[in-house]
Structure 1
Amino acid sequence: MTGTFVRVALDHPLPTLFDYHWNAPEPAGPGMLVSVPFGKRDVVGLVCEVAAHSEVPADRLRAVNAVCTACPPLSSEWLALAAFAADYYQRGLGEVALPALPQALRDAARWPRLLAPEERYSLTPQGRAALPDALPARATALRNLAEALAAADFLLAADARALHPKAIATLAAWQAEGWVALDLVDAAAALPATTSGAAEPQTLPTLTGEQSAAVEAIRDARGFAPFLLHGVTGSGKTEVYLRALAAILAADATAQALVLVPEINLTPQFEAAFRARFAALADTAIVTLHSGLAEGERARNWFAAHACRARIVLGTRLAVLASLPRLAVIVVDEEHDPAYKQQEGLRYSARDLAIYRAKQLGLPVVLGSATPSLESWWQAEQGRYRRLTLSRRAVADAVLPTVRLIDLEDERRRGRASMEGLSGPLIAALKTRLERGEQSLVFLNRRGYAPQLACDACGWVAGCPRCSAYVVLHKPERALRCHHCGWESRIPRSCPDCGNVDIAPLGRGTQRVEETLASAVPGARVLRIDADSTRRKGSAEALFSDVHAGEVDILVGTQMIAKGHDFQRVSLVGVLNADTALFSHDFRASERLFAQLMQVSGRAGRAGLPGEVLVQTRYPRHALYHALGRHDYVGFANSTLAERRDAHLPPFVYQALLRAEGRTLEAALAFLQQAAAELAGIPAAERVTVYDAVPLTIVKVMHVHRAQLLIESASRAALQATLRAWQPLLRGLKGVLRWSLEVDPLDI
């Protein structure tokens, strides 16, 4: 059949493109978003190819319904990036491309409103003076709406609705009182809110020699240039990013930059630093992209990047797939962080895609970390990445903290008192910092009050009825909660098995440590920051602001507080319960533990105050702790790489993981055994090692049983060829609820 036809990628597991007849008035082109019929419904797809004929019979060929004219076509470079990700991670092109777009573009019903004028509400001077006193004290939602108006230059209608269900009617009433002004702004021309007006010239910090050399190397790079910026904590890596980006953006008035951070709670301080530094550039817009944004805000920011109005895009891992037609440089901060690996759906590594994108476009990419991943370190050792080193802290009188190990076994033998897991030396050090007016940080990577609730009479331990896991005690909420499926129940008054009323918590979480510190260090202002205390939007930013403002004496938290934060008054870091990672079945556990401890240790002594790190351990002679005490990442990395080489582990081999989920464990294991048998007929599999199918550590989640099959090869090409030939065979197997294939797994 001849005519004009398009091959469209859909968000569908089948790795194929679907042919449609093109009858729209606009000329067809790759990168266009279209609405097409698929089965009994209409879906949004992405045009990938345009053809003059189709092999699909005329009676089966359907036509494109509509074209999204509001969105300029995605570039050929972006389509090539999505195609690479789909091929490498063994997914359909549509499964990569469509989820990378804002929800507004994936819903054809919303296309006519994409360029509709935006309603923007702002406080008038009268409203700024009168509104706070006019609201009832208990009207929390109204106060949230008023506070959002006061904190921003304007508030969009969609964002207002997210704060209050009757926001538009309320704003109309406030407008009638003269407290609120309403403006209609052309959405196509509107920029996201940025610092406007002439900015005061900033007094830039004086760079160290190592910082200057790093900035010059990045600034002068031509073509694809991967840099590994290895800087100790507090060495001024962010300043290197700022200076290098400033030089690159100044050299090209249309250039764009992409800056990736591992977690949402790091974006506010990065955004503040970038806005302050680039406020003087009238043509600079800075936008953020992460899952914590309201849907409308994320769409506006994405459009600003796609239309080249945004010069700097700051975001988490999903931002690596943002459309940036004039991209000139990529920065990946804390490149070692496991958060860059997506663990659901398309299991991609944002760091690895950032490197590929830089190679594809021929531009510099900077991977920054105090504790680089061993994969990146090995690439630098082989000369594939250029290593830039910042060996000392940027502040003149700031030095790396002293690390001291507290031997818990020795403390017990000597009969020295401890309090709920806090040793005597740690409590004494916390009291000393309080007397000096300095801040302390206590790190425990386990949230909740206690990881278990148990009965010592019969041995009962509270477990989740839906998962093969214990539930966590959350004392403030008086609840038992499963951190795997979210199941929750009230705390029982007695043991459900034997009736014993003396059931007690086992172990410690951040809530219990917070409670203990309140009594162990009288008078201290204790603040806890973890996933439980930062559930509400903006709560993490508010809590960190309290710490920076000096309103907190002791900060307790999980890995959320361990990296990236510049706490100027923290002089002591206490580490609890680190030993559990020393004997994990995961070969990456020691690497992650060392990175965590190095990162959290780096929060101490950043502004010239003498810093000290106290690590409570029962294994003070362990080599990892000795390397930590010397701040010797290089020695730790080289010795661990030698172990990996001898054991034939990444980065010296390449791995893939097939996971299966079934109604029973036997069904999941049987599927994996059939899958392993199918490899015998694949020629490339001769160079692949296949391990036995085994249950996952947490076997059952939400009544679904899970198992996994690991395959690996010393040849990436052989592994990829095997996976491509294996996929069609796997689709023909039955017996499980679902299965998934992950390339370069981090959690095994």
Structure 2
Amino acid sequence: MPSILQVALDTPLHRLFDYRLPAQLDPVPSGSLVEVPFGRTLQIGVALERQSDSAIVADKLRDVIRVLDDRPALSPDILHLAQFCADYYHYPLGAILLATLPPRLRNAAPFMAGKPWLTVTEAGQTAEPPTRARAQRALLDALRAAPQARETLRLRKQGRHAAALVTAGWAEWSRLPPAAGHALPTQAAPAATVEQQAALDRLLPVLGTFSVHLIHGVTGSGKTELYLRLIDVVLATGQQVLVLIPEIALTPQLEQHFRRRFPGRRIATLHSGLNETARAENWLAAPDCDVLLGTRLSVFAPLPRLGLIVVDEEHDASFKQQDGLRYSARDVAIARGKQADIPVVLGSATPSLESYAQALNGRYQLIELRQRAISQAQLPDIELVDLKHIPVDNGLTRPALQALTDTLARGEQSLVFLNRRGYAPALYCPSCAWVSPCPRCSARLVLHRTSHRLKCHHCGFETRIPPECPSCGNPDLKALGQGTQRLEETLAARLPAARIRRIDRDTMRPRAWAELGEAVHGGQVDILVGTQMLAKGHDFPNMTLALILDTDGALYSPDFRATERLFAQLMQVAGRAGRADKPGRVLIQTAFPDHPLFRYLQRHDYAGYARALLAERKQLDLPPFTRQVLLRAEATTMDAALAFLQHAAALAPDTAGVSVFGATPAPMARVANLERAQLLVQSAQRQALQAFVRDWRPQLERIKPRIARWSLDVDPLVF
């Protein structure tokens, strides 16, 4: 009698599917990818349990078509982690498992894993090609210095010489990334500061056991150096390290830093900035690498010898997925650390209140770095420019321009931060007050003058700039407000001698970051103008001025996390100034200089502000003192979205200690022609809330007719 194989498929259904396993395909290890019929289509699924019978009648069972043996099976620890996510985030297991794979590995097309690096063999280290084979000799010398990428060899037309070396046994193709980088010089470890050594003395004894450590270090205190020293010890034991970072932009800088620090170690990267082939190849290489650097999805990477997880900038909202499986990579990393019985290190200059509260109550171990690592470097002075009393011209005040001028005259660098890309937030008609609306969203179209377009940053809609007002015909349309493009233009006009670079999503691609770092470190840039891409992780020793514009919007926000995010953002931006031996200065333009947030910021007092916010949150029964789940609904009309949520509320189980609030339109009520509404569920007890959702979700799936698309967001960050 054929075996029955339970298969997880990428469907919205919370169940596994039974298939007959033909004898010629047996055995199929758990975690293998298989192709199966599903309805009228074929799907790729993940093989899980074997059983001898099925609840489905025998003549309705369908056969597994084939096993995709050109790619490895998912390991038991990844299956276990995915099951945790399915249980905690109430999301289908099959959809999670398939989402953990790079796109090239989750389709049926054959995938031949490439070997993109040519490396020298042991025989090649001492080989002597014939004197006449000058090209082969040159290539072999280059390989002895560092592995060469296949793409580089192709561009240099060295393919046949590479083939000759491989045939001779002097070189071989490797799937792993190069161990020594592109002939980067080795970087010696600086002397540890007293605080860093004290932190290491606390961290080293816990290697090999599960624990969570929160490193709260001021900007420039050497958190990265602490990670590197800890990683060095873990690598010496033959184990692997996973380093999670929030931004793709930080990957090139960190990768170069790691390669210099760990020559001979195999370092891989995983992020969405890689093309699909590179992502698949790096994922396949992960089990053999020493260090994996990656963004949030890397938390599911196959790392069989994992010995340490580091989550840098743990407060960053980028670690929370905002569609599909709405998971927090930080929280999943902690779950993976517990599962593997290894330590997890969280680091930030401005920890999330959730993590900081856990440290205060003793569940996490708090490690503080209060001083900058370079002894001459001091925390910058923070000055407020009161917009109520000082006029603004094109977004800039006279003190701000003077500070930029003085910094330029000293040959030092400045950062101008404005978290709004584009030329202006909207196009405005002064005659009838028309303001460029997005036809698909509850948002304005942003003016992008360089591309002569109006664009929506929420749904992607774009159109040409109208020659006249669509409402009244007035041809004299005005740019309303400031964006980074307009700010760059203004600075170029006011400071013509300055070399200005704009850094935002419109100008930067992952590969451009390495070039930017070289330009800034090489003194080829005077002023960086940018969005939150510049706010964290970058270390520019000659940058002494940080100018922060237009911060006040968050102070009006109804989001209870808005001031927490603003404080973190301002402190991170301020931390870019004065990181070496030159004093730093920060200017913040605001109409609310007396707001408590700015008083704490000027004292660099994160701990004081965090405690004040925690006291406020506790009084108002808000996270981290309560747990929340948000039921989101989207429909073609707001009435339909609200009707679904009202029906859902009526089906809510009566669970002690769990509160169900009324259905309301979402703050951004319309996106991409869909009306959005939400319903909040809250409890002081995580277990009670989880039990509530387990009972509630099946009821939601039975609501007919299906007039809205819905999703559950556990521990929501965005409302």
Give the TM-score normalised by the residue count of structure 1.
0.89
Distance in 2, Cα, partners of 1:570 & 1:209: 26
Give 1:503-514 correspondences, 5 Å limit. 503-514=477-488
Q: Is residue 242 of structure 2 the alignment partner of residue 247 of structure 1?
A: no
2:384 matched to which residue of 1? 405
* Alpha-carbon offset, residue 311 of structure 1: 1.1
Give 1:228-247 correspondences, 5 Å limit. 228-247=214-233
Equivalent of 1:478, from 436, 452, 460? Answer: 452
Distance in 2, Cα, partners of 1:494 & 1:647: 49
SS at match of 2:47: strand
Q: 1:467 to 1:366 in 2, by over 3 A?
A: same
Distance in 2, Cα, partners of 1:182 & 1:110: 29
2:330 matched to which residue of 1? 351
Q: 1:229 to 1:93 in 2, by over 3 A?
A: same
Distance in 1, Cα, partners of 2:594 & 2:361: 32
Q: Is residue 213 of structure 2 the alignment partner of residue 227 of structure 1?
A: yes
1:385 matched to which residue of 2? 364
Q: 1:121 to 1:236 in 2, by over 3 A?
A: closer
2:127 matched to which residue of 1? none
Judge conservation of contact 1:29–1:50 (CA < 8 Å) in 2: no
1:302 matched to which residue of 2? 283
Equivalent of 2:580, from 597, 607, 612? Answer: 607
Letter in 2 for 1:256: Q
Judge conservation of contact 2:33–2:46 (CA < 8 Å) in 1: yes
Distance in 2, Cα, partners of 1:96 & 1:479: 38
> 5+ residue gaps in structure 1?
130-150, 161-170, 413-417
* Alpha-carbon offset, residue 194 of structure 1: 3.2
Distance in 2, Cα, partners of 1:101 & 1:187: 28
Distance in 1, Cα, partners of 2:25 & 2:446: 59
Q: Is residue 646 of structure 2 the alignment partner of residue 646 of structure 1?
A: no
Which whole-Å deviations, capped at 9, do the CAs of 1:153-196 have from their partners, x for residues lacking one?
2235xx99xxxxxxxxxx69956998999979999963223316
Give 1:253-652 correspondences, 5 Å limit. 253=238, 255-279=239-263, 282=264, 284-306=265-287, 309-412=288-391, 418-534=392-508, 536-652=509-625
Letter in 2 for 1:212: Q
Q: 1:181 to 1:693 in 2, by over 3 A?
A: farther
Percent of aligned pairs with the same residue?
A: 51
* Alpha-carbon offset, residue 436 of structure 1: 0.3
Judge conservation of contact 2:442–2:670 (CA < 8 Å) in 1: yes
In angstroms, what is the RMSD of aligned CA positions? 2.7
Q: Count matched residues.
A: 695
Distance in 2, Cα, partners of 1:201 & 1:541: 18
Give 1:34-53 correspondences, 5 Å limit. 34-53=34-53
Letter in 1 for 2:14: P
Judge conservation of contact 2:425–2:445 (CA < 8 Å) in 1: yes
SS at match of 2:52: strand
Which whole-Å deviations, capped at 9, do the CAs of 1:405-462 have from their partners, x for residues lacking one?
11111224xxxxx431111111001000000000000001111111011111111111
* Alpha-carbon offset, residue 478 of structure 1: 1.4
SS at match of 2:99: coil
Q: Is residue 714 of structure 2 the alignment partner of residue 746 of structure 1?
A: no
* Alpha-carbon offset, residue 198 of structure 1: 9.9
Distance in 2, Cα, partners of 1:266 & 1:427: 29
Distance in 1, Cα, partners of 2:462 & 2:685: 46
Q: Is residue 694 of structure 2 the alignment partner of residue 724 of structure 1?
A: yes
Judge conservation of contact 1:529–1:543 (CA < 8 Å) in 2: no
* Alpha-carbon offset, residue 523 of structure 1: 0.7
Letter in 2 for 1:286: I
1:194 matched to which residue of 2? 179
Judge conservation of contact 2:147–2:182 (CA < 8 Å) in 1: no
* Alpha-carbon offset, residue 718 of structure 1: 1.3
Judge conservation of contact 1:468–1:699 (CA < 8 Å) in 2: yes
Letter in 2 for 1:742: D
SS at match of 1:377: helix
Q: 1:188 to 1:496 in 2, by over 3 A?
A: same
Letter in 2 for 1:721: A
Give the TM-score normalised by the residue count of structure 2.
0.92
Distance in 2, Cα, partners of 1:258 & 1:714: 32
Q: 1:173 to 1:519 in 2, by over 3 A?
A: closer
Distance in 1, Cα, partners of 2:330 & 2:338: 13
SS at match of 2:376: coil
1:103 matched to which residue of 2? 103
* Alpha-carbon offset, residue 105 of structure 1: 2.3
Judge conservation of contact 2:188–2:261 (CA < 8 Å) in 1: no
2:666 matched to which residue of 1? 696
Q: Is residue 33 of structure 2 the alignment partner of residue 54 of structure 1?
A: no
Which whole-Å deviations, capped at 9, do the CAs of 1:503-546 have from their partners, x for residues lacking one?
10111111111111112223111111001111x45234333432
Judge conservation of contact 1:219–1:248 (CA < 8 Å) in 2: no
1:84 matched to which residue of 2? 84
Distance in 2, Cα, partners of 1:556 & 1:119: 37
Deviates more, 1:589-598 or 1:471-480: 471-480
2:64 matched to which residue of 1? 64
SS at match of 1:425: helix
Q: 1:13 to 1:508 in 2, by over 3 A?
A: same
Distance in 1, Cα, partners of 2:182 & 2:442: 57
Q: 1:125 to 1:693 in 2, by over 3 A?
A: farther
Distance in 2, Cα, partners of 1:623 & 1:118: 54
Judge conservation of contact 1:29–1:49 (CA < 8 Å) in 2: no
Judge conservation of contact 2:644–2:707 (CA < 8 Å) in 1: yes
Distance in 2, Cα, partners of 1:200 & 1:482: 45
Q: 1:419 to 1:173 in 2, by over 3 A?
A: closer
* Alpha-carbon offset, residue 723 of structure 1: 1.1
SS at match of 2:242: strand
Distance in 2, Cα, partners of 1:546 & 1:633: 32
Q: 1:179 to 1:85 in 2, by over 3 A?
A: closer
Distance in 2, Cα, partners of 1:16 & 1:337: 33
Distance in 1, Cα, partners of 2:44 & 2:159: 41
Judge conservation of contact 1:262–1:334 (CA < 8 Å) in 2: yes
* Alpha-carbon offset, residue 729 of structure 1: 1.3
* Alpha-carbon offset, residue 664 of structure 1: 0.7
Which whole-Å deviations, capped at 9, do the CAs of 1:133-158 have from their partners, x for residues lacking one?
xxxxxxxxxxxxxxxxxx992235xx
Q: 1:560 to 1:187 in 2, by over 3 A?
A: farther
Distance in 1, Cα, partners of 2:277 & 2:353: 39
Letter in 2 for 1:687: G
Letter in 2 for 1:208: T
* Alpha-carbon offset, residue 366 of structure 1: 0.3
Judge conservation of contact 2:118–2:148 (CA < 8 Å) in 1: no
Q: 1:615 to 1:180 in 2, by over 3 A?
A: farther
* Alpha-carbon offset, residue 634 of structure 1: 0.3
1:666 matched to which residue of 2? 639
Letter in 2 for 1:8: V
Judge conservation of contact 1:320–1:350 (CA < 8 Å) in 2: yes
Distance in 1, Cα, partners of 2:352 & 2:161: 56
Distance in 2, Cα, partners of 1:585 & 1:20: 51
Distance in 2, Cα, partners of 1:582 & 1:271: 37
Letter in 2 for 1:533: T
SS at match of 1:313: strand
Distance in 2, Cα, partners of 1:37 & 1:292: 33
Distance in 2, Cα, partners of 1:508 & 1:76: 52
1:147 matched to which residue of 2? none
